[in-house]
């Protein structure tokens, strides 16, 4: 309980702080823009930071420094990005358009270098992309980089990929072609070779306080029983002993990834500095890596704590002032309720949608959409100032993140169901179509996740090896079914590059000692040049995926009804068939089984879709329905009523 009026205090504080920016922002018009945004957001910033750091003797000093940093960042922001800011402010829902289409991949694996990525722009346009996420590309020590997620400098591009000027030029070029660049912001930890970590190792106490360091096991022993082990096989435990420092260090992930201590306002300020630096290079979306872990509190599991939200909200409000075109995307692969807790215009405008991802795999394995419908009805709808990033595969493993209590409501035992899904997707369940591999089995909790590409998990690898054309058709059907949902359900669809041509697991990582222990490299394949060359050939696997997917993407871009929002899940009367309406105008039906399925005419009529005039907007074909509607195995339809007058 505050004994003073925080709003009045914020206003007073701001009036006292304002003179600090006089020497930085001297020009009238920009100064007015900055100040008017400050008037809007400072009360929020003040309230949030007060919550985190208000009890510190140096709170006011940190506020001063933040304001100075913010003014400098605003002042240094290139003219074209100021123009972009204005454009985004004028059209704040730009990212919710049906035109949005995303893809993600590793620079080196997809195109060798940044120059290689630049050369792929025609291909990205062919795909219809508006959003390109390049996997971590900053400096990261070879051999201990966790796929780039151990960052040793947030301001230097990995020299093997290119340079900072090249990255800037690429962003400009992408933007000129209608694409926004998305980069990771790995802000829960740094590499132990980051300059801050090196200074800490050299004994600099200022930088030691950037991390969580303990002289002995007393506190780690109190924290640890409550914590989740993320990589129990390769990196057991959450603390690492460093003999050089004679200290225990908090390392949620690999031992060389040191968790940052956000209780220290210096860390908050330093990381805001990195955000604004990246924003001023031209990055449009920052993916907030491992966001659930950034605040720690003894006695809790140190995930999704309230202060984590306060930090993101504060960073977001600060960004609205200095670089408002920048959006945040949350990466929280946690309980569905917690996933959703980060997504809003005030926090992360975008979020991975692991809820949908898991549901899709679950329904493909069971051929039953009841649990999926239950889950999505509960968790899919978002406020209208944010949106989902809908994906089926990322560079990470798949963890079965549904809620046990939701499963129980459906008569499903969560633990058993996870066990089944794991067995199914590692191909150990009778008649499984999947070729996946177990990732991080934890003997203590029996928890496990799955690695593999979309094509391999959907059955293409197995069918190809067995030379079974029927199985191959079904597997391709699964891939297209998934895309039929991702592209129509509401949000930004995200393709993992390679998946659009059916790239199967890449086993080459096993021969590389730096990668062999981490089988997530299975599904981070190199670009398959042969597959890409075959993409227009409908007799090849690549073409059988790429051509119909391209058709769906074109169809999506012509259907404003597929923009974000207004997704209503409906009862189709057939448990194998998922159904949802987009507004009242379009009905998606998706058959998750390898058999023909019927949906009754009477049910369609109650939903407002008379079978006499139905058109599938993917193919633009009128449906000829004599009795009830029949869906082919794995067929997906985007139906509208179109009466010829
Ligand atoms: C993320 O993943 C990245 O996506 C991984 O590639 C990194 O290894 C990791 O962070 C460390 O930077 O647990 O299994 O709820 O699920 O942050 C991968 C969020 C992970 C975590 C997620 C993490």
Give the residue ranges of DSSP H helices in 413-572.
Answer: 414-425, 454-458, 460-466, 469-486, 529-533, 541-557
**Residue of the nearest CA to atom 6 in ligand 1?**
396
R_g of the chain computed on alpha carbons: 25
Ligand 1 pocket test, pick from 290, 341, 400, 449 with the greatest ligand atom count within 8 Å of Cβ, gives 290
- What's the DSSP call for residue 623? -
What would the pLDDT profile of 202-220 be if each residue is shown by its tens digit?
999 999 999 999 999 999 9
Instruction: Indicate the CATH number of 189-259 among 3.40.50.300, 3.90.400.10, 3.90.1300.10, 3.50.30.50.
Output: 3.90.400.10
Atom of ligand 1 nearest to the CA of 186: 12
311-334 per-position pLDDT tens digit: 999 999 999 999 999 999 999 999
Ligand 1, atom nearest to 150 Cα: 12
Biggest alpha carbon–alpha carbon distance for the chain: 82
Instruction: Write the pLDDT tens digit of every residue in 410-430.
Output: 999 999 999 999 999 999 999
Cβ contact 506:522 at 8 Å = yes
Indicate which atom in ligand 1 lies nearest the CA of residue 449: 14
Ligand 1, residues at Cβ distance < 6 Å: 146-147, 149, 186, 230, 253, 289-290, 292, 331-334, 395-397
User: Is the pLDDT reported for residue 631 higher than 90?
Assistant: yes
In 3D, which of 48, 78, 279 has the Cα closest to residue 185? 279
Q: Which residue puts its alpha carbon closest to atom 23 of ligand 1? A: 290
What is the CB-side half-sphere exposure of residue 298 using CA atoms within 13 A?
6
Among candidate residues 192, 193, 289, 303, the one labeled active-site is 289
How high does pLDDT run on average in the chain?
97
Numbered ranges of CATH 3.20.20.80 in the chain: 94-188+262-560
Q: Which CATH architecture group holds 566-641?
A: Sandwich (2.60)
Which stretch of DSSP H or E encloses residue 250? strand 247-250
113-154 per-position pLDDT tens digit: 999 999 999 999 999 999 999 999 999 999 999 999 999 999
- Model confidence pLDDT, tens digit, residues 344-356: 999 999 999 999 9
CB atoms within 10 A of CB 232: 17
Q: Which ligand 1 atom is at minimum distance from the Cα of 440?
A: 14
CATH 3.90.400.10 residue window(s) in the chain: 189-259
Percent of the chain with pLDDT over 90: 95
Measure 292 CA to ligand 1 centroid, in angstroms: 10
Going by alpha carbons, the residue nearest to atom 10 of ligand 1 is: 290
Mean pLDDT of 277-296: 98
Pocket test for ligand 1, best of 105, 253, 304 (most atoms within 8 A of CB): 253
Please state, in angstroms and rounded to a whole number, the distance separating the CA atoms of residues 65 and 421: 51
pLDDT digits (tens, 9 = 90+) for 530-552: 999 999 999 999 999 999 999 99
The fold for domain 94-188+262-560 equals: TIM Barrel (3.20.20)
Residues 6 or more apart whose Cβ sits within 8 Å of residue 183: 133, 134, 136, 137, 278, 283, 285, 286, 287
Tokens 């003999």 map to which residue? Answer: 243
Nearest-10 Cα torsion for 44, 46, 48, 53: 180
Distance 186 CA to ligand 1 centre (A): 10
Q: Which of 85, 146, 303, 331 is catalytic?
A: 331
Residue nearest to atom 16 of ligand 1 (CA): 333
Which pLDDT band holds residue 1 (cuts at 50, 70, 90)? very low
Residues whose CB is less than 8 angstroms from the CB of residue 328 and which lie 6 or more positions away in sequence, other chains included: 285, 286, 288, 312, 315, 316, 319, 347, 348, 349, 350
Picking from 418, 432, 281, 316, the residue whose alpha carbon sits closest to that of residue 364 is 432
Neighbouring CB atoms inside 10 A of 614's CB total: 20
Q: How many residues does the chain have?
A: 645
Q: Mean pLDDT throughout 389-411?
A: 98
Provide the percentage of residues in the chain whose pLDDT is more than 70: 99
Alpha-carbon distance 208 to 185, whole Å?
A: 21
CB neighbours of residue 298 within 10 Å = 9
Ligand 1 centroid, distance to 603 Cα (angstroms): 43
Cα separations (Å) of 296 from 211, 219, 309, 383? 12, 12, 12, 28
Q: Residue 178: is its pLDDT beyond 80?
A: yes
Report the separation in Å between the CA atom of 303 and the middle of ligand 1, taken as the mean of its atom positions: 13
Q: What Cα–Cα distance (Å) separates residue 217 from each residue in 238, 444, 465? A: 12, 21, 51
| Best mutation site among 396, 439, 447, 449 for ligand 1 pocket (most ligand atoms within 8 Å of CB) | 396
Taking the CA of residue 397 as reference, the ligand 1 atom at the shortest distance is: 14
Query: Please, are residues 314 and 208 in contact by the beta-carbon 8 Å criterion?
Result: no
Read off the pLDDT of residues 27-57 as tens digits, 9 standing for 90 and up.
888 999 999 999 999 999 999 999 999 999 9
Query: Which residue in the block uniquely carries the two structure tokens 């990466």?
Result: 331
DSSP code of residue 399 = -
Separation of alpha carbons 380 and 358, rounded Å: 13
Which residue among 151, 250, 333 is best mutated to probe the pocket of ligand 1, counting the most ligand atoms within 8 A of its Cβ?
333
- Check if the beta carbon of residue 500 is closer than 8 Å to that of residue 546: yes
How far apart, in Å, are the Cα atoms of 525 and each of 161, 421, 534? Answer: 17, 24, 17
Q: Which tokens hold the place of 256?
A: 């060389």
The candidate with the shortest Cα–Cα distance to 164, out of 135, 138, 202, is: 138
Structure tokens that stand for 635 in this block:
């067929």
Give distance in angstroms: CA of 289 to centre of ligand 1: 7
Per-residue pLDDT band at 3 (split at 50, 70, 90): low
Residue 196 to residue 344: CA distance in whole angstroms: 32
pLDDT at 451: 98
CA 71 remoteness from chain centre? 30
Residues whose CB falls within 8 Å of the CB of residue 511, separated by 6 or more in sequence, listed in order: none
Strand stretches in 42-152, DSSP E: 102-105, 131-134, 138-139
Structure confidence at residue 345 (pLDDT): 97
Q: Do residues 102 and 353 touch, judged by C-beta distance below 8 A?
A: no
Q: How confident is the model over 488-510, as pLDDT tens digits?
A: 999 999 999 999 999 999 999 99
> What spacing in Å lies between the alpha carbon of 332 and ligand 1's midpoint?
8
- In the residue annotation, 331 being an active-site residue is answered as yes
DSSP string, 26-71: -SHHHHHHHHHHHHHHHHHHHHHHHHHHTTSTTHHHHHHHHHHHHH
- DSSP-derived 3-state class of residue 579: strand
* pLDDT of res. 393: 98
pLDDT band (50, 70, 90) for residue 307? very high
Sign of the dihedral through C-alpha 166, 170, 171, 176: positive
Helices then strands, counting H and E runs in the chain, come out as: 24, 25
Atom of ligand 1 at shortest range from CA of 520: 6
Q: Whose CA is nearest to atom 17 of ligand 1?
A: 290
């Amino acid at each position: 309980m505050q004994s003073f009026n925080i709003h009045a205090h914020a206003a007073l504080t701001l009036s006292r702080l304002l003179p600090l920016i006089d020497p930085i922002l001297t020009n009238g018009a920009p100064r007015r823009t900055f100040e008017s945004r400050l008037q809007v957001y400072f009360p929020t910033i003040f309230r949030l930071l007060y919550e985190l750091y208000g009890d510190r003797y140096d709170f006011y000093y940190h506020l001063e420094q933040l304001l100075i940093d913010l003014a400098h960042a605003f002042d240094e922001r290139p003219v074209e990005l100021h123009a972009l800011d204005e454009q985004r402010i004028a059209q704040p829902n730009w990212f919710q358009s049906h035109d949005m289409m995303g893809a993600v991949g590793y620079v080196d694996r997809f195109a060798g270098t940044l120059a290689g990525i630049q050369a792929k722009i025609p291909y990205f346009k062919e795909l219809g992309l508006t959003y390109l996420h390049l996997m971590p590309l900053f400096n990261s020590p070879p051999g201990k980089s966790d796929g780039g997620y151990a960052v040793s400098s947030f301001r230097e591009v990995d020299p093997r990929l290119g340079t900072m000027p090249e990255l800037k030029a690429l962003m400009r070029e992408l933007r000129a072609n209608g694409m926004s660049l998305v980069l990771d912001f790995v802000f829960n930890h740094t590499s132990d070779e980051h300059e801050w970590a090196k200074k800490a190792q050299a004994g600099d106490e200022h930088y030691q306080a950037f991390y969580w360091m303990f002289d002995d096991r007393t506190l780690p022993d109190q924290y640890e029983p409550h914590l989740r082990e993320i990589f129990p096989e390769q990196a057991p435990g959450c603390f690492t002993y460093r003999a050089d420092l004679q200290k225990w260090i908090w390392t949620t992930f690999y031992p060389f990834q040191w968790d940052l201590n956000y209780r220290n306002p210096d860390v908050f300020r330093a990381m805001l500095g990195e955000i604004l630096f990246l924003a001023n290079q031209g990055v449009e979306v920052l993916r907030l890596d491992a966001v659930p872990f950034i605040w720690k509190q003894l006695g809790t599991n140190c995930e999704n704590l309230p202060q984590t939200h306060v930090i993101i909200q504060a960073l977001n409000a600060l960004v609205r002032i200095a670089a408002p075109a920048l959006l945040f995307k949350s990466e929280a692969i946690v309980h569905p309720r917690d996933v959703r807790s980060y997504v809003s215009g005030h926090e992360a405008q975008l979020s991975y949608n692991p809820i949908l991802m898991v549901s899709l795999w679950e329904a493909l394995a069971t051929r039953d959409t009841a649990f999926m419908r239950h889950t999505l009805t509960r968790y899919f709808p978002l406020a209208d100032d944010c949106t989902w990033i809908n994906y089926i595969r990322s560079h990470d493993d798949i963890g079965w993140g549904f809620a046990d209590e939701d499963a129980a409501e459906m008569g499903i035992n969560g633990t058993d169901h996870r066990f089944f899904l794991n067995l199914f997707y590692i191909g150990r369940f009778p008649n499984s179509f999947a070729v996946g591999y177990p990732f991080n089995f934890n003997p203590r909790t029996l928890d496990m996740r799955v690695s593999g590409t979309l094509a391999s998990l959907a059955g293409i690898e197995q069918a190809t090896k067995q030379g079974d054309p029927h199985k191959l058709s079904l597997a391709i059907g699964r891939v297209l079914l998934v895309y039929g949902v991702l592209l129509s359900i509401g949000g930004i669809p995200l393709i993992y590059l390679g998946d659009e041509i059916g790239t199967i697991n890449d086993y080459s990582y096993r021969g590389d000692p730096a990668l062999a222990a981490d089988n997530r490299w299975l599904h981070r394949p190199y670009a398959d040049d042969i597959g890409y060359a075959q993409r227009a050939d409908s007799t090849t696997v690549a073409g059988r995926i790429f051509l119909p997917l391209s058709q769906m993407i074109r169809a999506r871009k012509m259907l404003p009804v597929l923009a974000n929002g207004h997704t209503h899940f409906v009862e189709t009367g057939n448990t194998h068939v998922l159904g949802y309406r987009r507004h009242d105008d379009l009905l998606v039906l998706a058959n998750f089984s390898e058999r023909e399925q019927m949906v009754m005419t009477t049910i369609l009529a109650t939903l407002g879709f008379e079978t006499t005039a139905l058109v599938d907007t993917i193919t633009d074909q009128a449906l000829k329905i004599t009795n009830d509607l029949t869906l082919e195995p794995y067929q997906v339809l985007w139906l509208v009523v179109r009466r010829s007058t």
